[in-house]
Amino acid sequence: MSRLHRPVLAAVAALAALAAAGCTAGPIGASTPLSSGQSFVGSSYESTVFRPGSRPEAPGVSGTTVTGSRLSLASYRGDVVVLNFWGSWCAPCRDEAPALGTLSGKLAPEGVRFVGVDIRDEPDSALAFMSTFRISYPSISDPGDLIALQFRATDPPSAIPSTIIIDRSGRIAARIIGPVSYRTLRTLLTPIVAEHA
């Protein structure tokens, strides 16, 4: 085998490994030949916690929800916000939905607000997803990935599902790439909820 062919074979092997892992590159929801139509991050999980004093400011997100009303994250200032990026077509999103729905109800009295960002979805599919999993918190419709791209400095636009925790002062306190569990999300939220704005 010539030396010229080795880098090409290495690149092909790397791309094949990425496809097997279920991850995609490029915009959220992009279906490529490598992803075999699977436009989500798969079962991988990664979390990052930002310490107070070194937290990036969250973008000023606003938009129209899947039910047609307007929502702005600025209206939640003073609360902790769990911002979850999802799509009805995403299998790991379905896996994590029950935990998100349960936690949103349990943590509301503690000043924790859940907001979804529905990626590249049809309105009927999004509404059916929310009904099936009893998601009562609002979700902003983001068919063109524009909201997702506002978070590109902290949340790779290729990752879905992903969750961002925003502290009471509007700064990003934690980022989760991949499906969350009830226990993991509750553990991450506990010290952030205890903070004061």
Of all helices (H) and strands (E), which one includes residue 115? strand 112-119
Distance between CA atoms of residues 33 and 144, nearest Å: 20
Strand partners, 140: 65, 117
DSSP 170-184: SBEEEEEES---HHH
Cis, bond preceding 109 (omega within 30 deg of 0): no
Q: What is the pTM of this model?
A: 0.78
pLDDT at 106: 96
pLDDT at 14: 35
Burial class from Cβ neighbours inside 10 Å (0-12, 13-18, 19+) for residue 131 reads: exposed
Per-residue pLDDT tens, the chain, 197 aa: give them: 444 444 433 433 333 333 333 333 333 333 333 223 333 444 456 888 999 999 999 999 999 999 999 999 999 999 999 999 999 999 999 999 999 999 999 999 999 999 999 999 998 999 999 999 999 999 999 998 899 889 888 766 667 899 999 999 999 999 999 999 999 999 999 999 999 76
**Sequence letter at residue 101:** G
pLDDT at 159: 78
Measuring CA to CA, which residue among 144, 123, 136 is closest to residue 68? Answer: 123
pLDDT at 5: 45
Domains contained in the chain, CATH given: 5-194 (3.40.30.10)
Helices (H), the chain: 5-21, 91-107, 123-132, 146-150, 182-194
Number of Cβ within a 10 Å radius of residue 50:
17
